[in-house]
Amino acid sequence: MSDEKRQVSRRQFLNYTLTGVGGFMAAGLLISPVRMAIDPVLKHDEGGDFANAGIAIDDITADPQRIDWTIDQVDGWYESEVTRSAWVYRNDDDEIVAFSPICKHLGCVVSWEGNDDYPDQYYCPCHDGRYYKNGVNVPGTPPLQPLDVYEQEERDGMLFLGKIQPHEEA
């Protein structure tokens, strides 16, 4: 047990070190426009783990829309910019739902109506995984769980998204 633990933390340390060094070198090497592209373009407010997803609450409709935003990720002492994405829509109960686009099978990115044969579903191009509009996986396709959802909050009319959590009603 304790052996196992020690191993994990040693591996983690190695990981941090490698990420730190690798990330640093990559950052130095990138040409300026590319570097600027992965630097913060839009500064968002600090405030817990929530980040401004860049969409006004009023602009969210019953049709799922894909949104992308960036967050600062701190991993040990190494800080980087990460792009996050979500599909947001307003459900039948007029609640806003933001799904993570990461397929629960092996992690490809799903798209709303990504396949003409399956309108009104999320589609994963990798192994034809599908999900209903409410995020629940279509039985008989490879994913075994519904799409994860983001924690969310409204601030000044804007949608703020936080941690990714497993879908509840499954």
**Which strands sit side by side in the sheet containing 65-75, from one edge to the other?**
51-56, 158-165, 149-155, 96-99, 78-90, 65-75
User: Using the rule CB under 8 A, is 39 a contact of another protein?
Assistant: yes
Residue 126 interacts with ligand FES (CB under 6 A)? yes
Per-residue x/- mask for ligand FES, residues 3 to 42, rule CB under 6 A? ----------------------------------------
Residue 167, CB-side half-sphere exposure with 13 Å CA sphere: 22
Q: Which CB atom, from 129 or from 135, has the smaller least distance to ligand FES?
A: 129
* Rounded-to-integer distance, Cα 74 and Cα 84, Å: 14
One of 4, 31, 92, 94 touching another protein (CB under 8 A): 31
Of residues 13 and 62, the one with the C-beta less far from another protein: 13
| Sheet with 129-132: strands ordered across | 111-112, 121-124, 129-132
Q: Is 74 exposed, middle or buried (0-12, 13-18, 19+ CB in 10 A)?
A: exposed
Question: Is 124 a residue that touches ligand FES (CB under 6 A)?
Answer: yes
Q: How far apart are CA 82 and CA 99, in angstroms?
A: 17
41 binds another protein (CB under 8 A): yes
Partner that binds at residue 25, options another protein, ligand FES, none, CB closer than 5 to 8 Å by kind: none
27 interacts with another protein by CB under 8 A? no
Which H helix or E strand runs over 164? Answer: strand 158-165
Q: Is residue 36 within the footprint of another protein (CB under 8 A)?
A: yes
Q: Which of residues 91-120 bind another protein (CB under 8 A)?
A: 103, 105-109
Q: Applying CB under 8 A, does 29 fall inside the site for another protein?
A: yes
Identify the helix (H) or strand (E) that includes residue 97.
strand 96-99
Name the site residues for another protein (rule: CB under 8 A): 26, 29-31, 33-34, 36-39, 41, 103, 105-109, 124-127, 142
